[in-house]
Amino acid sequence: MQNTAHIIGAGISGLSAAVRLANAGFKVAVHEATHQAGGRCRSYFDGATGLTIDNGNHLLLSGNSHARAYARSIGTEAGLVGPESAQFPFVDITSGQRWQIDLGAGRLPTWVLDESRRVPDTGLTDYLKLAPLIWASEQTLVGKSIPCEGILYQRLVQPLLLAALNVDPPEGSAGLAGAIVRETLLAGGQACRPLIAREGLSAVLIEPAVKFLQERGHSVQLGHELRSFATTDGRASALNFGGEDVIALKEGDVVVMAVPPRAATSLMPGLKGPTEFRAIVNAHFRFEPPPGSPAILGVIGGVVEWLFAFPNRLSVTISNGDRLVDMPREELAQAIWNDVCKAGGVSGELPPWQIVRERRATFAATPAQNALRPGPVTALKNLFLAGDWTATGLPATIEGSVRSGDRAADLVLAAKRP
Protein backbone atom coordinates (compact mmCIF):
# COMPACT_ATOMS: atom_id res chain seq x y z
CA MET A 1 0.00 0.00 0.00
CA GLN A 2 1.29 3.46 -0.91
CA ASN A 3 2.21 5.58 2.11
CA THR A 4 1.10 9.19 2.37
CA ALA A 5 3.44 12.06 3.17
CA HIS A 6 1.48 14.92 4.74
CA ILE A 7 3.28 18.21 4.20
CA ILE A 8 2.14 21.00 6.51
CA GLY A 9 2.80 24.40 4.91
CA ALA A 10 3.07 25.22 1.19
CA GLY A 11 6.04 27.59 1.35
CA ILE A 12 9.22 26.79 -0.54
CA SER A 13 10.35 24.36 2.20
CA GLY A 14 7.12 22.37 2.13
CA LEU A 15 6.84 22.38 -1.65
CA SER A 16 10.41 21.22 -2.16
CA ALA A 17 9.85 18.32 0.27
CA ALA A 18 6.55 17.53 -1.46
CA VAL A 19 8.07 17.42 -4.95
CA ARG A 20 10.97 15.24 -3.81
CA LEU A 21 8.69 12.78 -2.01
CA ALA A 22 6.26 12.66 -4.93
CA ASN A 23 9.17 11.79 -7.21
CA ALA A 24 10.21 9.05 -4.78
CA GLY A 25 6.82 7.31 -4.96
CA PHE A 26 4.98 8.71 -1.95
CA LYS A 27 1.42 9.88 -2.22
CA VAL A 28 1.67 13.50 -1.16
CA ALA A 29 -0.93 15.66 0.58
CA VAL A 30 0.02 19.32 1.13
CA HIS A 31 -1.99 21.28 3.70
CA GLU A 32 -1.70 25.07 3.60
CA ALA A 33 -3.39 27.33 6.15
CA THR A 34 -3.87 30.36 3.90
CA HIS A 35 -5.67 30.60 0.57
CA GLN A 36 -2.46 30.98 -1.42
CA ALA A 37 0.61 28.77 -1.68
CA GLY A 38 4.08 30.31 -1.40
CA GLY A 39 4.25 31.63 2.17
CA ARG A 40 6.85 34.38 2.31
CA CYS A 41 7.70 33.89 -1.37
CA ARG A 42 4.61 34.78 -3.37
CA SER A 43 3.10 37.14 -5.96
CA TYR A 44 -0.26 38.85 -6.11
CA PHE A 45 -2.15 41.39 -8.17
CA ASP A 46 -1.87 44.82 -6.61
CA GLY A 47 -4.63 47.29 -7.34
CA ALA A 48 -2.62 50.40 -6.41
CA THR A 49 -0.04 49.86 -9.14
CA GLY A 50 -2.19 47.72 -11.44
CA LEU A 51 0.65 45.19 -11.56
CA THR A 52 1.34 41.69 -10.33
CA ILE A 53 4.04 42.15 -7.72
CA ASP A 54 6.02 39.93 -5.40
CA ASN A 55 5.73 40.31 -1.63
CA GLY A 56 9.47 40.95 -1.80
CA ASN A 57 12.16 41.06 -4.46
CA HIS A 58 13.97 37.76 -4.10
CA LEU A 59 17.53 37.44 -5.31
CA LEU A 60 19.13 34.07 -5.93
CA LEU A 61 22.73 33.47 -6.94
CA SER A 62 23.89 30.92 -9.50
CA GLY A 63 25.68 29.03 -6.68
CA ASN A 64 22.32 28.29 -5.01
CA SER A 65 22.45 24.72 -6.24
CA HIS A 66 19.46 23.31 -4.31
CA ALA A 67 17.17 26.16 -5.30
CA ARG A 68 18.11 25.75 -8.95
CA ALA A 69 17.66 21.97 -8.78
CA TYR A 70 14.20 22.51 -7.28
CA ALA A 71 13.29 24.88 -10.14
CA ARG A 72 14.67 22.31 -12.61
CA SER A 73 12.55 19.55 -11.06
CA ILE A 74 9.37 21.57 -11.63
CA GLY A 75 10.50 22.64 -15.12
CA THR A 76 11.12 26.33 -14.48
CA GLU A 77 14.88 26.77 -14.10
CA ALA A 78 14.85 28.90 -17.26
CA GLY A 79 12.54 31.31 -15.41
CA LEU A 80 15.43 32.29 -13.13
CA VAL A 81 17.13 34.89 -15.26
CA GLY A 82 20.16 37.12 -14.89
CA PRO A 83 23.18 38.55 -16.65
CA GLU A 84 25.74 36.26 -18.32
CA SER A 85 28.45 37.18 -15.86
CA ALA A 86 28.54 38.20 -12.23
CA GLN A 87 28.65 41.97 -12.49
CA PHE A 88 27.23 44.11 -9.72
CA PRO A 89 26.80 47.83 -10.43
CA PHE A 90 26.66 50.15 -7.41
CA VAL A 91 25.94 53.83 -6.85
CA ASP A 92 26.67 56.02 -3.85
CA ILE A 93 23.81 58.51 -3.88
CA THR A 94 25.53 60.91 -1.49
CA SER A 95 28.52 61.45 -3.82
CA GLY A 96 27.00 60.31 -7.14
CA GLN A 97 29.96 57.91 -7.64
CA ARG A 98 29.15 54.78 -9.67
CA TRP A 99 31.20 51.59 -9.99
CA GLN A 100 30.83 47.98 -10.94
CA ILE A 101 32.27 44.89 -9.29
CA ASP A 102 33.05 42.29 -11.92
CA LEU A 103 33.42 38.81 -10.49
CA GLY A 104 33.86 37.28 -13.95
CA ALA A 105 32.67 33.79 -14.77
CA GLY A 106 35.41 31.56 -13.34
CA ARG A 107 35.60 29.19 -10.40
CA LEU A 108 38.21 31.16 -8.44
CA PRO A 109 37.83 34.61 -6.86
CA THR A 110 40.60 36.07 -9.04
CA TRP A 111 38.66 39.33 -9.39
CA VAL A 112 40.14 40.57 -6.10
CA LEU A 113 43.57 40.59 -7.79
CA ASP A 114 42.42 42.98 -10.51
CA GLU A 115 42.06 46.61 -9.44
CA SER A 116 39.61 47.38 -12.25
CA ARG A 117 37.21 44.62 -11.16
CA ARG A 118 37.15 45.15 -7.42
CA VAL A 119 35.62 47.90 -5.28
CA PRO A 120 37.28 51.28 -6.09
CA ASP A 121 39.83 52.51 -3.56
CA THR A 122 40.34 49.06 -2.02
CA GLY A 123 43.46 46.90 -1.99
CA LEU A 124 44.10 43.16 -1.80
CA THR A 125 44.87 43.34 1.92
CA ASP A 126 41.34 44.64 2.59
CA TYR A 127 39.94 41.41 1.09
CA LEU A 128 42.41 39.21 2.98
CA LYS A 129 41.03 40.64 6.24
CA LEU A 130 37.71 38.93 5.40
CA ALA A 131 39.35 35.50 5.57
CA PRO A 132 38.33 34.80 9.21
CA LEU A 133 34.71 34.60 8.02
CA ILE A 134 35.56 31.48 6.05
CA TRP A 135 36.20 29.36 9.15
CA ALA A 136 34.28 31.35 11.79
CA SER A 137 31.92 29.41 14.06
CA GLU A 138 28.19 30.08 14.07
CA GLN A 139 28.52 31.40 17.65
CA THR A 140 30.96 34.16 16.66
CA LEU A 141 29.76 37.67 15.89
CA VAL A 142 30.59 39.13 12.47
CA GLY A 143 31.75 42.23 14.35
CA LYS A 144 34.33 40.14 16.26
CA SER A 145 35.50 38.34 13.14
CA ILE A 146 36.19 41.01 10.50
CA PRO A 147 36.59 44.81 10.38
CA CYS A 148 33.13 46.39 10.15
CA GLU A 149 34.35 49.76 8.91
CA GLY A 150 36.29 51.19 5.99
CA ILE A 151 35.58 51.44 2.28
CA LEU A 152 35.34 47.72 1.47
CA TYR A 153 32.91 47.23 4.33
CA GLN A 154 30.70 50.17 3.36
CA ARG A 155 30.66 49.41 -0.35
CA LEU A 156 30.48 45.62 -0.46
CA VAL A 157 30.59 43.68 2.80
CA GLN A 158 27.85 45.63 4.57
CA PRO A 159 25.31 45.50 1.68
CA LEU A 160 26.04 41.83 0.99
CA LEU A 161 25.82 40.66 4.61
CA LEU A 162 22.82 42.87 5.37
CA ALA A 163 20.95 41.26 2.48
CA ALA A 164 22.04 37.75 3.45
CA LEU A 165 21.55 37.94 7.23
CA ASN A 166 18.77 40.56 7.51
CA VAL A 167 20.41 41.99 10.65
CA ASP A 168 22.93 44.77 11.14
CA PRO A 169 26.02 42.79 10.04
CA PRO A 170 28.20 43.29 13.17
CA GLU A 171 25.53 41.57 15.31
CA GLY A 172 25.11 38.70 12.80
CA SER A 173 26.48 35.18 13.05
CA ALA A 174 29.91 35.01 11.41
CA GLY A 175 29.41 31.30 10.72
CA LEU A 176 26.23 31.95 8.73
CA ALA A 177 27.92 34.83 6.90
CA GLY A 178 30.87 32.54 6.23
CA ALA A 179 28.62 29.91 4.65
CA ILE A 180 27.37 32.53 2.20
CA VAL A 181 30.90 33.74 1.44
CA ARG A 182 32.20 30.17 0.90
CA GLU A 183 29.37 29.23 -1.45
CA THR A 184 29.35 32.47 -3.45
CA LEU A 185 32.21 35.00 -3.34
CA LEU A 186 34.87 32.36 -2.70
CA ALA A 187 33.51 30.08 -5.41
CA GLY A 188 34.20 32.71 -8.10
CA GLY A 189 31.90 34.48 -10.51
CA GLN A 190 30.31 31.23 -11.74
CA ALA A 191 28.57 30.97 -8.34
CA CYS A 192 27.65 34.66 -8.05
CA ARG A 193 25.54 35.43 -11.12
CA PRO A 194 22.40 37.15 -9.81
CA LEU A 195 19.17 35.34 -10.72
CA ILE A 196 15.65 36.72 -10.49
CA ALA A 197 12.23 35.21 -11.14
CA ARG A 198 11.39 37.99 -13.61
CA GLU A 199 7.91 36.63 -14.36
CA GLY A 200 7.16 36.64 -10.63
CA LEU A 201 7.90 34.36 -7.68
CA SER A 202 4.60 32.51 -7.87
CA ALA A 203 4.83 31.96 -11.63
CA VAL A 204 8.34 30.53 -11.41
CA LEU A 205 8.72 28.88 -8.00
CA ILE A 206 5.27 28.21 -6.58
CA GLU A 207 2.44 27.61 -9.07
CA PRO A 208 4.46 25.17 -11.22
CA ALA A 209 5.18 23.08 -8.10
CA VAL A 210 1.48 23.00 -7.20
CA LYS A 211 0.63 22.05 -10.80
CA PHE A 212 3.38 19.41 -10.83
CA LEU A 213 1.84 17.77 -7.76
CA GLN A 214 -1.78 18.05 -8.85
CA GLU A 215 -1.13 16.70 -12.36
CA ARG A 216 0.37 13.59 -10.79
CA GLY A 217 -2.64 12.98 -8.56
CA HIS A 218 -1.33 14.50 -5.34
CA SER A 219 -3.36 16.99 -3.35
CA VAL A 220 -2.64 20.59 -2.35
CA GLN A 221 -5.35 21.85 -0.03
CA LEU A 222 -5.48 25.58 0.62
CA GLY A 223 -7.31 27.05 3.62
CA HIS A 224 -6.45 23.81 5.47
CA GLU A 225 -4.75 24.80 8.70
CA LEU A 226 -3.35 22.14 10.98
CA ARG A 227 -4.74 22.93 14.45
CA SER A 228 -3.19 20.07 16.44
CA PHE A 229 -2.12 16.49 16.12
CA ALA A 230 -2.36 13.33 18.21
CA THR A 231 0.51 11.02 19.04
CA THR A 232 0.57 7.32 19.86
CA ASP A 233 3.65 5.23 20.75
CA GLY A 234 6.12 7.92 19.71
CA ARG A 235 4.46 8.58 16.34
CA ALA A 236 2.10 11.22 15.02
CA SER A 237 -1.17 9.30 14.67
CA ALA A 238 -3.81 11.85 13.61
CA LEU A 239 -3.89 15.35 12.13
CA ASN A 240 -6.64 17.68 13.31
CA PHE A 241 -7.69 20.46 10.93
CA GLY A 242 -10.59 21.63 13.10
CA GLY A 243 -13.96 20.14 13.98
CA GLU A 244 -14.64 16.83 12.26
CA ASP A 245 -11.79 17.33 9.84
CA VAL A 246 -9.34 14.78 11.26
CA ILE A 247 -6.99 12.59 9.22
CA ALA A 248 -5.91 9.34 10.88
CA LEU A 249 -2.36 8.40 9.95
CA LYS A 250 -1.67 4.84 8.86
CA GLU A 251 1.47 2.87 9.68
CA GLY A 252 4.09 4.20 7.26
CA ASP A 253 2.47 7.61 6.80
CA VAL A 254 4.77 10.52 7.55
CA VAL A 255 4.48 14.23 8.34
CA VAL A 256 6.81 17.04 7.26
CA MET A 257 6.12 20.12 9.37
CA ALA A 258 7.18 23.05 7.16
CA VAL A 259 5.52 25.95 8.98
CA PRO A 260 7.19 29.08 10.43
CA PRO A 261 8.71 28.86 13.92
CA ARG A 262 5.80 30.44 15.80
CA ALA A 263 3.34 27.96 14.30
CA ALA A 264 5.70 25.01 14.80
CA THR A 265 6.43 25.78 18.46
CA SER A 266 2.75 26.23 19.27
CA LEU A 267 1.84 22.96 17.51
CA MET A 268 4.70 21.11 19.21
CA PRO A 269 5.05 22.14 22.85
CA GLY A 270 8.66 21.73 23.99
CA LEU A 271 10.06 22.53 20.54
CA LYS A 272 12.51 25.44 20.56
CA GLY A 273 12.90 27.86 17.68
CA PRO A 274 14.04 31.40 16.97
CA THR A 275 12.07 34.06 18.82
CA GLU A 276 13.40 37.24 17.21
CA PHE A 277 12.60 38.31 13.68
CA ARG A 278 13.48 41.20 11.40
CA ALA A 279 11.36 43.04 8.86
CA ILE A 280 12.06 43.50 5.15
CA VAL A 281 10.47 46.46 3.39
CA ASN A 282 9.79 46.45 -0.35
CA ALA A 283 8.51 49.34 -2.45
CA HIS A 284 7.15 48.96 -5.96
CA PHE A 285 6.69 51.87 -8.39
CA ARG A 286 4.80 51.68 -11.66
CA PHE A 287 7.47 53.29 -13.81
CA GLU A 288 9.18 52.17 -17.01
CA PRO A 289 12.91 51.81 -16.20
CA PRO A 290 15.12 53.87 -18.55
CA PRO A 291 16.73 51.81 -21.34
CA GLY A 292 19.91 50.11 -20.15
CA SER A 293 18.91 50.12 -16.48
CA PRO A 294 20.73 47.31 -14.66
CA ALA A 295 18.45 44.52 -13.44
CA ILE A 296 19.88 45.03 -9.95
CA LEU A 297 21.68 48.08 -8.63
CA GLY A 298 23.34 48.29 -5.21
CA VAL A 299 22.57 51.63 -3.57
CA ILE A 300 24.82 53.11 -0.88
CA GLY A 301 24.15 56.16 1.26
CA GLY A 302 20.33 56.23 1.36
CA VAL A 303 17.38 54.35 2.76
CA VAL A 304 17.24 52.18 -0.39
CA GLU A 305 19.64 49.23 -0.51
CA TRP A 306 18.87 47.45 -3.79
CA LEU A 307 17.01 48.79 -6.82
CA PHE A 308 15.49 46.23 -9.20
CA ALA A 309 14.36 47.09 -12.74
CA PHE A 310 11.43 45.01 -14.03
CA PRO A 311 9.29 45.65 -17.12
CA ASN A 312 6.94 48.57 -16.14
CA ARG A 313 8.27 48.63 -12.59
CA LEU A 314 11.07 49.84 -10.36
CA SER A 315 11.29 47.95 -7.10
CA VAL A 316 13.27 48.46 -3.94
CA THR A 317 14.40 46.20 -1.11
CA ILE A 318 15.35 47.39 2.37
CA SER A 319 16.52 44.74 4.83
CA ASN A 320 16.61 44.89 8.63
CA GLY A 321 13.68 47.27 8.18
CA ASP A 322 12.13 47.33 11.66
CA ARG A 323 12.79 51.08 11.88
CA LEU A 324 10.47 51.61 8.89
CA VAL A 325 7.48 49.45 9.77
CA ASP A 326 5.61 52.14 11.68
CA MET A 327 6.55 55.09 9.44
CA PRO A 328 3.52 56.62 7.65
CA ARG A 329 3.22 54.88 4.27
CA GLU A 330 3.10 58.05 2.09
CA GLU A 331 6.13 59.53 3.84
CA LEU A 332 8.05 56.29 3.37
CA ALA A 333 7.04 55.97 -0.29
CA GLN A 334 8.22 59.53 -0.97
CA ALA A 335 11.54 59.03 0.85
CA ILE A 336 12.19 55.84 -1.11
CA TRP A 337 11.16 57.45 -4.41
CA ASN A 338 13.62 60.31 -3.78
CA ASP A 339 16.42 57.74 -3.46
CA VAL A 340 15.18 55.85 -6.53
CA CYS A 341 15.37 59.06 -8.60
CA LYS A 342 18.96 59.66 -7.57
CA ALA A 343 20.05 56.04 -7.97
CA GLY A 344 18.12 55.21 -11.12
CA GLY A 345 18.69 58.54 -12.89
CA VAL A 346 14.96 59.18 -13.18
CA SER A 347 12.76 62.08 -12.13
CA GLY A 348 9.14 63.05 -11.72
CA GLU A 349 6.29 63.00 -9.23
CA LEU A 350 5.70 59.91 -7.13
CA PRO A 351 4.21 57.35 -9.57
CA PRO A 352 1.61 54.72 -8.51
CA TRP A 353 3.28 52.79 -5.69
CA GLN A 354 2.88 50.03 -3.19
CA ILE A 355 4.81 49.34 0.01
CA VAL A 356 4.97 45.77 1.37
CA ARG A 357 6.27 45.49 4.91
CA GLU A 358 6.92 41.91 5.96
CA ARG A 359 7.34 42.31 9.70
CA ARG A 360 8.63 38.82 10.39
CA ALA A 361 10.44 38.34 7.10
CA THR A 362 13.22 36.20 8.58
CA PHE A 363 14.54 35.14 11.95
CA ALA A 364 17.33 37.42 13.20
CA ALA A 365 20.51 35.69 12.08
CA THR A 366 22.43 36.42 15.29
CA PRO A 367 24.49 33.78 17.11
CA ALA A 368 21.93 33.64 19.95
CA GLN A 369 18.95 33.11 17.62
CA ASN A 370 20.89 30.69 15.43
CA ALA A 371 21.53 28.54 18.51
CA LEU A 372 17.76 28.07 18.88
CA ARG A 373 17.32 26.43 15.46
CA PRO A 374 16.32 22.78 15.73
CA GLY A 375 17.43 20.01 13.40
CA PRO A 376 14.92 18.13 11.24
CA VAL A 377 14.54 15.08 13.50
CA THR A 378 11.94 15.21 16.28
CA ALA A 379 10.99 12.89 19.13
CA LEU A 380 8.28 11.50 16.83
CA LYS A 381 9.58 8.81 14.46
CA ASN A 382 7.34 9.81 11.57
CA LEU A 383 7.50 13.61 11.90
CA PHE A 384 10.30 15.75 10.49
CA LEU A 385 10.83 19.52 10.47
CA ALA A 386 11.62 21.74 7.51
CA GLY A 387 11.79 25.52 7.16
CA ASP A 388 14.31 28.27 6.59
CA TRP A 389 14.49 28.67 10.38
CA THR A 390 15.61 25.09 11.07
CA ALA A 391 19.34 24.39 11.42
CA THR A 392 20.40 24.53 7.78
CA GLY A 393 23.77 26.22 8.31
CA LEU A 394 22.50 29.08 6.14
CA PRO A 395 20.57 32.25 6.96
CA ALA A 396 16.84 32.36 6.07
CA THR A 397 16.95 32.12 2.29
CA ILE A 398 15.29 30.23 -0.53
CA GLU A 399 18.41 28.09 -0.79
CA GLY A 400 18.18 27.24 2.91
CA SER A 401 14.46 26.52 2.57
CA VAL A 402 14.94 24.10 -0.31
CA ARG A 403 17.79 22.39 1.51
CA SER A 404 15.60 21.94 4.56
CA GLY A 405 12.79 20.48 2.43
CA ASP A 406 15.17 18.15 0.62
CA ARG A 407 16.74 17.07 3.89
CA ALA A 408 13.37 16.29 5.51
CA ALA A 409 12.37 14.29 2.41
CA ASP A 410 15.65 12.37 2.47
CA LEU A 411 15.13 11.51 6.14
CA VAL A 412 11.64 10.24 5.35
CA LEU A 413 13.07 8.06 2.59
CA ALA A 414 15.93 6.82 4.77
CA ALA A 415 13.51 5.91 7.57
CA LYS A 416 11.40 3.90 5.15
CA ARG A 417 14.29 1.71 3.97
CA PRO A 418 14.64 -1.60 5.79
Ligand X SMILES: Cc1cc2nc3c(=O)[nH]c(=O)nc-3n(C[C@H](O)[C@H](O)[C@H](O)COP(=O)(O)OP(=O)(O)OC[C@H]3O[C@@H](n4cnc5c(N)ncnc54)[C@H](O)[C@@H]3O)c2cc1C
- Which residues of this protein are in contact with ligand X, per CB under 6 A? 8-14, 31-34, 39-41, 55-56, 58-60, 225-226, 258-260, 263, 280, 282, 358, 361-362, 387-388, 396-399, 401
Q: Give whichever of 146 and 209 is closer to ligand X, judged by the CB atom.
A: 209
Q: Give whichever of 144 and 227 is closer to ligand X, judged by the CB atom.
A: 227
State in angstroms the smallest separation of the CB of 114 from ligand X: 28
State in angstroms the smallest separation of the CB of 147 from ligand X: 26
State in angstroms the smallest separation of the CB of 357 from ligand X: 9
Write the CB contacts of 206 (distance below 8 Å, at least 6 apart in sequence).
10, 12, 15, 37, 38, 41, 42, 43
State in angstroms the smallest separation of the CB of 93 from ligand X: 21
Residue from 152, 92, 34 nearest 339 by CA: 92
Q: Give whichever of 93 and 226 is closer to ligand X, judged by the CB atom.
A: 226
State in angstroms the smallest separation of the CB of 136 from ligand X: 21
Q: Give whichever of 155 and 403 is closer to ligand X, judged by the CB atom.
A: 403
Interaxial angle between packed helices 65-73 and 12-23, expressed in degrees from 0 to 180 and rounded to the nearest 10:
60
Residue from 307, 288, 287 nearest 351 by CA: 287
Q: Give whichever of 130 and 259 is closer to ligand X, judged by the CB atom.
A: 259
State in angstroms the smallest separation of the CB of 416 from ligand X: 23
State in angstroms the smallest separation of the CB of 90 from ligand X: 17
Q: Give whichever of 119 and 209 is closer to ligand X, judged by the CB atom.
A: 209
State in angstroms the smallest separation of the CB of 125 from ligand X: 31
State in angstroms the smallest separation of the CB of 37 from ligand X: 7
- How many Cβ atoms are within 10 Å of 365's Cβ, its own excluded? 30
* Alpha carbons 211 and 401: distance in angstroms, whole number: 20
The C-alpha angle 262, 266, 269, rounded to 5 degrees, equals 130
Q: Give whichever of 10 and 160 is closer to ligand X, judged by the CB atom.
A: 10
* Alpha carbons 276 and 396: distance in angstroms, whole number: 13
Q: Give whichever of 112 and 177 is closer to ligand X, judged by the CB atom.
A: 177
Q: Give whichever of 37 and 146 is closer to ligand X, judged by the CB atom.
A: 37
Q: Give whichever of 282 and 293 is closer to ligand X, judged by the CB atom.
A: 282
State in angstroms the smallest separation of the CB of 74 from ligand X: 15
